[in-house]
Amino acid sequence: MNAPATKLPVVVIGAGPSGLAAAAHLIDQGIEPLVLEAGRSAGASVREWSHVRLFSPWGEVVDPAAEKLLAPTGWTRPDPATYPSGGDWAELYLQPLADVLGDRVRTGATVTGVSRTGRDRIVDADREQQPFVVHVAHTDGREERLFARAVIDASGTWTTPSPAGGSGLPALGEKAAADRVTYRVPDLRDPAVRARYAGRRTAVIGSGASAFTALAHLADLAESDDGAGTKGVWILRRGISGSTFGGGTADQLPARGALGLAAKAAVDAGHADAVTGFRTEAVERDTDGRLILVGEDGRRLDAVDEVIVLTGFRPDLSFLDELRLGLDERLQAPVALAPLIDPNQHSCGTVYPHGHRELSHPEQGVYLVGMKSYGRAPTFLAMTGYEQVRSVAAAIAGDLDAADRVELTLPETGVCGGAGLFDAPDAQEGDGGGCCAPAPQLVQLGAPAVAGAAAEEAPTGGCCGS
């Protein structure tokens, strides 16, 4: 490999929102990108939750550089105040952007390894002068070796969901129960999927926006003509507090607040029971083949027909093993970024806008961006990824003034959880800022009315990823 590094492209891993935005910003800087997407089309991961509506409106999920690139084609952004579904986002924005990028985007191309040319992670000599080498496996069986001046990993975390087990490991029996366990919000518009959950008892494990979405969807099914008998069992590692259902009307992203209120309405209406302080240790089958969740404290819950595990995601770092990454030992996020997003420390969900400096590693020229940059931390917003890649592209181009400039103001979440582990079962509940109820229990919340229009008309999902 003898070509000067500056003549090589920047390889972008992943053709999701952050990856395609990175390509647009690189082009804006006069740098050639090459986007490698493992899926069959741009936005492949987003398409897998096409039925879920974002809690961010169109005005916050279109990258400015991407819009500039799309403008000559006659593309116009949908109404900035309306909320796209994942399918809308993919079809009306991500795919047109990929089309404009043309041959710069290669689909069906899985990155299997990244290193420095001729240097494994041990070798120091002339390391930074060597271009990156990227190994790629194609769907037709071909393998390819590509070279790059820099690598931007925007592959996200969608393909590596966290398990049900409370210790971060799969619960005993979880893999054996795979036929009745899913790690995605089910698409109840699909007749086959709808039949799987209609009239059944379903456990939903998790406490974030995805769990809210699943609970709201199951409640809608329970109230439909074909869903009589549908029941949710909401499994929380923490307790019920003022922050359990998110920020509500205090959230500057109104749809995100309304999503939590919709989940609360599902519980208040009796469509779901909440089991608090429960850390799953095992998944067993009864004589009828139904699933019994067993907690670390020995409790055995009543049998359920299905389990929806929505406990977050984690990054796949396996193909970056030959690079010298600086990652936080807890979050698996870049060391300088981790303190800004660590849920063990932050009482509220705001994250200071950040860029190339917080995303850098000992291996110069490699960046983890988008959802991948957050490691195991939650509450990522698309606009955060767009600001990241704007800064990174400027840094790669050598324009540090632009790279260091902050060009983003994030909305307040309205969600405070107090310092410390949010899921600590024995934490005391505060006045809206506390984490948990003091004792594990099965509860049905009371029935104060939730504004029907807000619950019914607001978007029902909140996935923003890379």
- Nearest CA to 182 out of 133, 200, 411 is that of 200
DSSP 318: G
Structure tokens at 413: 């979440």
Mean pLDDT across the chain:
85
Burial class (CB in 10 A: 0-12, 13-18, 19+), 297: exposed
Q: Are 173 and 283 in contact (CB under 8 A)?
A: yes
Q: What is the pLDDT of residue 440?
A: 36
Distance CA 50, CA 53 (A): 8
Q: What is the predicted pLDDT for the residue at 277?
A: 93
Residue located via tokens 């923490």: 238
% of residues, the chain, pLDDT over 90 = 72
pLDDT value at position 40?
97
- The answer to whether 24 and 69 are in contact (CB under 8 A) is yes
pTM for the model: 0.85
pLDDT mean over 132-139: 98
The whole-number pLDDT of residue 455 equals 31
Answer whether 295's CB lies under 8 Å from 203's CB.
Answer: no
Any idea what DSSP says for residue 267?
H
d(CA 229, CA 231): 6
DSSP 91: I
Range scoring the smallest mean pLDDT among 34-38, 43-47, 236-240, 429-433: 429-433
pLDDT band for position 265 (cuts 50, 70, 90) = confident
